[in-house]
A and B are shown apart, each in its own frame.
Chain A
C-alpha cells in the first residue's frame, strides 16, 4: 500500500499527551452535571411527551428542580423519591414533580437514600435493556443484509419536511447511498429542548426529534431489502441537547451520530464546561449502544487555512479519541473526521490532500475514519465542482477512507436536488471502482512531497499537543488553537445549565454505564 512513514513513538506520545488533556477535563466533568444530562436521565427512565405549548415534560421537570437550586442532586433522586413515596409510574412521578406544589428536598424528612435507590432499580435495568434491544436489532439487520464496500457513501437530505426527507432518503439508497443523514434545522443546536413529534417545517434542514428518527428508520428499513444492503441512518448529537439526542438515537436504532468533544464550543459558541459534560454522557450512551460517532474536525478547515492548519485536525483527532476512550468507546466506533479543503488551484494540492488522508488512515487504523468533501472553494460552476469532487473521491479510495461524505456539485448553490445526489453517487461509484486497488499498487517516492508533508503534519500536531497539554485545553481554546476560534471557560451559551454535583448526586444510569467494560461491536 502507498503508505507514508509514521514515527510510531511520536504517535504514542501524541496519544499520551491527548490522554493527559482528557484526564484534566475529566476531573471537571466528574464534578458537574447539566440540565441536558438530567433531561436525558429523565427520558431514559421513561419521561415523555410535551405540554400544549410544546414544552417537553423532561424540560418542565428538570427546570423546576433547577429553579429550586436542587438539580445538583440529580433528577434520578427526585424521580426515585416520588416512586418510593407512592407514584404509580415514572411519568406520574415526573408530572407530580414538574407541576406539583412542593418539591421534596434531600435530607428534609424525605425517604431514605436506600429507598430512593431501590425504587429506581428496575427502571435503570429497563432503560439499559431498551438501548440493548435496539442495538441487537441493528446488528441483526446488518448481518442479514450486509454493508456496502468502503469507502461507505454518505449523503445528506435536508428538505425541512420529514416526509419529503423519507422519500429523498429512499431515492438516495436506490442510487447507491450507504448512509443517509438528515441535516438538522440550523437553529436546533442552540435550542435547549428537543422538539416533540414529526415536523414538516424547518429552515436549512429538518428538526431532530424522536418521531422523525423513527420515520427515517422505517423508510431505510423498507428500502434495505430492495437494494440488497443495510442502509445506515445518522443525525446530530451536538448542541445543547447532545446527550438527549444520543439517547433517542440509541433507542430508535440510528447507526451513526455526529458527535464531537469540542465542535459545539468552537463553532456554536456553546459553553466549554457544558459541552465537555454533555459529550461525556452522550458518549457513555453511545458506547453502550454501539453507534459509530463522526467527529467534526473537517470544520476547522472551513475557518482556518487547510494547508497551514492541517496539523490542528490531527491534534484534535487525538483529543477526540482520548475523550471517546474515556467514555468507553472502542476505536471501531470512532469515525474521526478530516477534509479535502485545500485551495484546488494550488499546485500539488492533491498530493497534500492524499498525504494527510493517508497519515490519518495509518495512525487511526482501527477507526472508521470519515472523509469530508470540498466546500470552501466550491463555486456555482457545477461542472468544475463535479471534477473537484472526483479528485476528492480518488484521494478517498486510494487512501482507504472508511466513510466518505460525498461532495455535491451544487454545494455552493442549494441543498442537493434529487439528480445532484444521483450524479454524485454515480461519480463516486465510478471512481471507487476504477481505482479500487490503486493504493495497493503504488509507493510514494521516498523523501518526496507526500512523505515530507506527512512527517511535517505529525510533527506539528505533536508540538501543538505538547502545548495544549502544558496549558490545558481551557487555555488552548481561549487562544484559538483549533479552527482559529477563541472561547472562554465561562462564556458561551448554556452555561446557566451547568451545575456542580452535590455530595449525594444520584445517577444510577451513569453508574451502570461507567461500570460497563468497552465492547467492540460485532463487525
Chain B
C-alpha cells in the first residue's frame, strides 16, 4: 500500500501547472513563427501557451520564451531511486572512524581520457576544497593523490595499484557524444580484467553523473554536481573500514528507495 502523491508544477496556485520553456527554432520572427512556437509548446503538453518573447538570434533562427500550464503530473511515491546509503558525517566522525583502520585510507583521483577539466577533482581532493568544505588532502586519515587531467585509464590503474589505493575517483566533465560514459565504463572493464575490481572502491564524479548512472557503468557510487569533499570522504572511509572489519558491504546497495 502506498499513498499516491501526484506532483504538478506549482506557479502561483496549487495545481496550476505553470512552467516556462525557452528554445530556438529555425524560423525568422513573425506571426507564423509565433504560432509555430505555440504549437511546439502544446506538443510538449502545455495548455494555453503564451509566447512572451520572440527574437531573431542568427541569420536564420529565433529564440522563444513561452509560459503555459503543464498537463502532466508525476507520482513521487512510485519512484525508485538509487541513493547513496551513507549518512552525512562530521569531519571529527570521519577522522575517528578512519583512525580505527590503523593506517591511512589511500585515495587516487584523476580526470581520465582526453578530459582536461580538473575543476571537479581539484575541488574534491585538493586541500582547499570547495565552498568552505576542505578537500580530501586535509584529512589526517586519508592519503590522497590527485593525478590531474588527461590521465589514460591504464595509467590510472597502474598508479592506483602502485600506491595500493583503497578507492579511485574518476572525474568526467566533458560529455560530448557520451564520451564520458564510454571512457568510464572502459576503466571498470580494465580493472575487472586485471582481477582487482573487488579490492577497490570505484567512484565516478562529474556534472552529468548521478549515482544511478555510475552504478550502471559498473562503479560503486556516483557523485553529481554540488558534491562536497566531506561526502566523498565519509563514503570512502566508511566503506573501507567496513571492508577491513570483514563485513564486506557491497557499496551502494540498500538505502532509501
Contacts and interface: CB of A to CB of B under 8 A. Distances in A.
Given A186-B114, A380-B225, A417 B24 contact: yes
Interface stretch (B58-66, B67-75, B161-169): B58-66
Interface stretch (A42-50, A170-178, A450-458): A170-178
Contact of A171 (B57, B174, B207): B57
Contacts of B128: 304-305, 484
B119 A413 contact: no
Given A190-B150, A203-B114, A160 B176 contact: yes
Contact of B114 (A171, A187, A303): A187
Given A174-B59, A305-B128, A185 B114 contact: yes
Interface in B43-98: 55, 57-59, 61, 63
B122 A303 contact: yes
Interface string A407-446: 0000011110111001100000000000000000000000
11 contacts: A171-B59, A187-B116, A189-B116, A204-B115, A204-B176, A305-B128, A375-B119, A376-B119, A419-B57, A419-B63, A484-B126
Interface in B147-204: 148-150, 174-177, 179
Given A203-B176, A203-B179, A303-B122, A422 B57 contact: yes
B72 to A, nearest CB: 22
A203 B174 contact: yes
A268 B151 CA distance: 11
Interface of B: 22-24, 55, 57-59, 61, 63, 113-119, 122, 126, 128, 131, 148-150, 174-177, 179, 207, 225-226
A160 B175 CA distance: 12
Given A413-B207, A422-B57, A268 B116 contact: yes
Contacts of A302: 119
A269 interface: yes
Nearest to A187: B114
Contacts of B148: 269
A392 B144 CA distance: 35
A422 B63 contact: yes
Interface in A259-275: 268-269
Given A189-B116, A419-B23, 9 more contacts: A170-B58, A171-B59, A203-B177, A268-B149, A304-B128, A380-B207, A415-B176, A422-B57, A422-B63
A379 interface: yes
B60 to A, nearest CB: 8
A418 B119 contact: no
A381 to B, nearest CB: 11
B150 to A, nearest CB: 6
Contact of A175 (B22, B58, B179): B58
Contacts of B119: 302, 375-376
A226 B60 CA distance: 14
A61 B119 CA distance: 38
Nearest to A167: B58
Contacts of A422: 55, 57-58, 63
Contacts of A375: 119
Interface string A137-167: 0000000000000000000000010000001
B61 to A, nearest CB: 6
Contacts of A167: 58
A415 B114 CA distance: 16
A380 B225 CA distance: 9
A412 B57 CA distance: 22
Given A186-B114, A203-B179, A379 B150 contact: no
Contacts of B63: 418-419, 422-423
Nearest to A422: B57
B224 to A, nearest CB: 10
A412 B207 contact: yes
A175 B57 contact: yes
Nearest to B116: A186
A128 B216 CA distance: 57
A171 B226 contact: no
Contacts of B176: 160, 203-204, 415
Most buried by A among B57, B114, B131, B174: B57
